């Protein structure tokens, strides 16, 4: 990359981000009876801000630090000699200054967009697993209501419902 290089020179900046923050969480779990666990969870965390080099325009963009606060309650149980497992949880999360980024085309040129938005998410998750001899079956369902509080409307890239399932049969081949 000498004087005859065809690569453009990258601009240099004299910037920095300093962040000091304690992430914290608390969890309470109780077992009112054998094979039943109830829990409540609180957590708060921070993702440091960012400096984004927008090479095409020769500018520097910043993203503010992202603060997430989460509350969750749930229950887990195992029944019938641990052959049936049930789990359910509900949660609420608020993210202040969520760091969102995407690329768009303007005049056929890619332009990188970085922005901070506030996001609120509510949802629940349920799972079931069943073990019958060598056969294992499981299913899960999640509901997510994510709202972009800064811009209004549903948060992009977040499906309302997610469903899953699995079946596994194991057998001994040798011996």
The CA-CA-CA angle for residues 150, 100, 71, to 5°, reads 70
User: Given pLDDT bands bounded at 50, 70 and 90, which one contains residue 35?
Assistant: very high
User: Given pLDDT bands bounded at 50, 70 and 90, which one contains residue 109?
Assistant: confident
* Total-model pTM: 0.73
The neighbour count for residue 155, using CB atoms within 10 Å, is 19
User: What pLDDT digit, counting tens, does each position of 122-160 carry?
Assistant: 999 999 999 998 999 999 999 999 998 887 777 767 889
Candidates 49, 40, 166; CA nearest to 91 is 40
**Tokens coding 174:** 């040798």
**Tokens coding 39:** 């829990």
When comparing pLDDT for 17 and 149, which is higher? 149
- The burial of 161, by beta-carbon neighbours within 10 Å (0-12 exposed, 13-18 middle, 19 or more buried), is given as exposed
**Tokens coding 94:** 């608020």
pLDDT at 1: 41
DSSP class of residue 98 equals E
Mean pLDDT of the chain: 83
User: Given pLDDT bands bounded at 50, 70 and 90, which one contains residue 5?
Assistant: very low
Sign of CA dihedral 24, 150, 115, 158: positive
């Amino acid at each position: 990359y000498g004087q005859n290089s065809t690569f453009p020179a990258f601009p240099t900046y004299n910037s920095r981000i300093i962040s000091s923050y304690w992430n914290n969480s608390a969890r309470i779990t109780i077992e009112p009876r054998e094979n039943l666990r109830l829990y409540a969870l609180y957590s708060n965390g921070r993702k440091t801000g960012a400096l984004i080099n927008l090479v095409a325009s020769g500018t520097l963009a910043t993203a503010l630090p992202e603060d997430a606060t989460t509350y969750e309650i749930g229950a887990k149980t195992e029944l019938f000699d641990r052959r049936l497992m049930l789990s359910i949880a509900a949660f609420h999360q608020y993210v202040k200054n969520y760091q969102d980024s995407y690329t768009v085309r303007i005049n056929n040129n890619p332009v990188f967009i970085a922005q901070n938005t506030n996001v609120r998410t509510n949802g629940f998750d349920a799972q079931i697993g069943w073990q019958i001899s060598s056969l294992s079956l499981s299913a899960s369902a999640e509901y997510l209501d994510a709202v972009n509080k800064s811009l209004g409307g549903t948060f992009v890239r977040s499906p309302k419902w997610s469903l899953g399932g699995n079946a596994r049969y194991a057998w001994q081949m040798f011996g």
